[in-house]
A = this chain, B = another copy of it.
């Protein structure tokens, strides 16, 4: 019995940092995915381990089921989702420590911890093999950890009793609303293990796809009415998100009046972006007009981010390089390096895109092309046993 799930990454289209100070922000899914395959061994496999393979970082960890049973003498599966207790976190930490995961990447151990907790919370002590691979660069602000948690939760739930699914369906299929809510909640709990205090934005975008406006803790799902294509440039410059957020707060304390207006301006920009994306598109001309407005709003937002002090030389290089081709760019996420977004208008020639990407890659950056605002998490059953249209065999 095997399921494959994929969950998209995210970008912040407008409002990062300012959202901490009460402005609206807009996030969107991108059609770059993290994939999780989850398989229960057949009796013929004679496999009594729980294993996780992270292909992109060439890491494989596994525990004999007996070792997990020993570590969790009183393990009970839990529905509905709830937070991981400190007690259980400590028990899991022991199991994770046994695997000698490279210390250089703290995120890896946290990801393995989230996996162990999510899987055992739903399925208890059961042999299984999870394989993860991703199109998202890790730790670059594109929501790779949320996509991991969402795809993992989706795969885990698709093989559980809590989700009623159609095994006869070929290819990717979507969950119903209730199942999506369940996936999102579990993923959020996974994100808590990885990030401590996640905003819930990344997992929500990855779960539901499309776009989300968020302000003062409230999330509103937006229905986009226009296709949007972005060039995402990963500067590969590492950031300290906490320090960047703190820097904006300190600047706000030093210059409260000026910064308040900056945040108000960002709020207007986010609202404009949301309105443009949701307004119906009548023809090509209208699309071009909307794209021009979005590009201008992105340029304005980038100036305001520079005003907050969270841009970076590498981001400015992307801004200037793309400006040569009359394309607008803003940083996305925490800034101080990380990724930049460049709007690629519908009518832009492919040869221009190739040139821009070649220029950026010459600077040592990684370029990714992404459609914006597509589907959220999806899953697909592989090697379905012949049970009839609505059959079910999860053991």
CB contact between A293 and one of B254, B300, B309 (< 8 Å): that residue: B254
A interface, over-half SS: helix
Contact A303 B306 (CB under 8 A): yes
Contact A303 B304 (CB under 8 A): yes
**Chain B residues positioned under 8 Å from A306 (CB to CB):** 299, 302-303, 306
Assembled-state Cα–Cα distance A319/B304 (Å): 16
Decide yes or no: A261 and B255 within 8 Å by CB, A306-B303, A307-B300, A316-B320 being known contacts: no
> In the complex, which residue of chain B has the Cβ closest to the Cβ of A324?
B313
Decide yes or no: A296 and B261 within 8 Å by CB, A303-B307, A305-B303, A316-B320 being known contacts: no
A200-244 CB contacts (< 8 Å) to partner B: none
The answer, yes or no, to whether A62 is at the interface (CB within 8 Å) is: no
Distance in angstroms from A298 CB to nearest chain B CB is 11
Distance in angstroms from A329 CB to nearest chain B CB is 12
**Chain B residues positioned under 8 Å from A133 (CB to CB):** none
Decide yes or no: A258 and B308 within 8 Å by CB, A313-B323, A320-B313 being known contacts: no
Stretch at the interface among A49-57, A112-120, A265-273: A265-273
Point out which of A261, A268, A296 has the most chain B C-beta atoms below 10 A from its C-beta: A261
The answer, yes or no, to whether A182 is at the interface (CB within 8 Å) is: no
The answer, yes or no, to whether A257 is at the interface (CB within 8 Å) is: yes
How would residues 284 to 312 of chain A score, 1 for a CB under 8 Å from any chain B CB and 0 otherwise? 00000000010011011111111111010
Contact B307 A265 (CB under 8 A): yes
**Chain B residues positioned under 8 Å from A308 (CB to CB):** 303
Q: A interface, how many residues as a size bin?
A: 20 to 34
**Chain B residues positioned under 8 Å from A368 (CB to CB):** none
Assembled-state Cα–Cα distance A226/B323 (Å): 39
> In the complex, which residue of chain B has the Cβ closest to the Cβ of A257?
B268
**Chain B residues positioned under 8 Å from A316 (CB to CB):** 316, 319-320
Contact A296 B255 (CB under 8 A): yes
**Chain B residues positioned under 8 Å from A304 (CB to CB):** 262, 303-304, 307
The answer, yes or no, to whether A264 is at the interface (CB within 8 Å) is: yes
Distance in angstroms from A16 CB to nearest chain B CB is 14
The answer, yes or no, to whether A251 is at the interface (CB within 8 Å) is: yes
Point out which of A262, A272, A299 has the most chain B C-beta atoms below 10 A from its C-beta: A262
Distance in angstroms from A313 CB to nearest chain B CB is 5
CB contact between A258 and one of B255, B259, B265 (< 8 Å): that residue: B265
How would residues 245 to 265 of chain A score, 1 for a CB under 8 Å from any chain B CB and 0 otherwise? 000000100110111011011
Assembled-state Cα–Cα distance A307/B300 (Å): 4
Assembled-state Cα–Cα distance A269/B254 (Å): 11
Distance in angstroms from A235 CB to nearest chain B CB is 14
Contact B303 A299 (CB under 8 A): no
Contact B251 A296 (CB under 8 A): yes
**Chain B residues positioned under 8 Å from A265 (CB to CB):** 258-259, 261-262, 265, 307
Assembled-state Cα–Cα distance A262/B258 (Å): 9
Contact B258 A261 (CB under 8 A): no
Decide yes or no: A300 and B268 within 8 Å by CB, A306-B306, A316-B316, A320-B313 being known contacts: no
**Chain B residues positioned under 8 Å from A299 (CB to CB):** 306-307, 309
**Chain B residues positioned under 8 Å from A311 (CB to CB):** 303
Q: List 17 A-B contacts (CB under 8 A).
A: A254-B296, A255-B269, A255-B272, A255-B296, A255-B297, A258-B269, A261-B264, A265-B265, A265-B307, A299-B307, A300-B307, A302-B306, A303-B306, A303-B311, A304-B304, A306-B306, A313-B320
